[in-house]
Amino acid sequence: MATIWKSTNQKSTNQVTNQTIFGTMLTSWSRQQKLAMIACVAMPGVLLAMSACSEQSAKPALGGVSSNPSTQTAPSTAAITAQANTAVPVAAAKKSPRKRPANVTYTDANSGVSFLYPRKFVLTSGDDARPQFAGMGDALMNFVQPGGVTVATVVLPDGSYPGTDFASAFFNVNINRSVSEQECAHFALADSHNVNGGSMDSQKVKIGSTEMETTSNFSASPMTQTETQYYHRYENGACYEYVLSLGTAGYGIKDGAEPVNRDEIFAKLEKILATVKIKTAPVEQQNEAEQAVGAAAGGR
């Protein structure tokens, strides 16, 4: 038992010695050393606290992410739509006014005649289409047989040539189904230069791709003058007549009036004539027309 007591007493003595040494060491440390020691002891706790805070702050952010793909793409689709709606509209291209063609097409179903004429010219057809020579009344047809019918007339506008002796000018189409092909090559009006008073001489000409018989006439009064060109063409069992006429007045009488350029005016009228087309009629209609011509010739 004496040994046990000694051992216990020795242990107690060692504890007192260690505490005394540790206390002596703390007492001997400076203030800076004590603060450094406290910081080292507290640092692990601070790091643990910061780690916990960062984990808590990350949870709400993760909670805001939706696992539904449609909700994830919705904001992008809305943004694209908004950008499309706010895009600057492209200015619509201005449409230039549509220009009307300079020429107009005339077509007559009864005669099969069609031609082009300038839009500025004046067209009449039917019963009102009978043209007039300048100051000398209605223009006469030049068929050798009666029965001619006026189809259409195109007249140059009044005042087309100011300061000249221009009075009027026209292009006229007539048709006669009572004339044979041989008779269509002749003209009724006598040549004013033919002392024998016979039929006007005619000649064959080619207008475009069409051959025609043609002649001309000149007539005058104390105040007016008229120059006329006639063309005949036999088609579809009928004789077609095309009349180009120019009337003048005032030259030598009206102050300041100059003679108009006749060649220029007839060139315009001939351009209309060059566009004439005749629609081919069925064979039955041609036979009926030839029979009608034959009956008219037999009754003379």
Q: What is the mean pLDDT of residues 124-130?
A: 87
227-259, pLDDT tens digit by residue?
Answer: 999 999 999 999 999 999 999 987 767 777 899
**Domain range summary for the chain, segments of one domain joined by +:** 103-298
144-160, pLDDT tens digit by residue?
Answer: 999 999 999 999 998 89
Phi, psi of 155 (to 5 degrees): -115, 135
179-192, pLDDT tens digit by residue?
Answer: 999 999 999 986 55
Grouping H, G, I as helix, E, B as strand and the rest as coil, residue 288 is: helix
How many angstroms separate the CA atoms of 213 and 197, rounded?
20
How many angstroms separate the CA atoms of 287 and 22, rounded?
150
What is the homologous superfamily of the domain 103-298 according to CATH? Mog1/PsbP, alpha/beta/alpha sandwich (3.40.1000.10)
Phi, psi of 121 (to 5 degrees): -75, 160
pLDDT higher than 80, residue 278: yes
When pLDDT is cut at 50, 70 and 90, the band that residue 222 belongs to is: confident
56-115, pLDDT tens digit by residue?
Answer: 555 544 444 445 544 455 555 555 555 655 555 566 667 777 888 899 999 999 999 999
Give whole-number Cα distances, 106 to 56, 115, 119, in Å: 93, 5, 11
- For residue 233, which of 201, 207, 270 has the smallest C-alpha distance? 207
8-63, pLDDT tens digit by residue?
Answer: 444 444 544 444 444 445 455 556 555 556 555 556 665 665 655 555 555 544 44
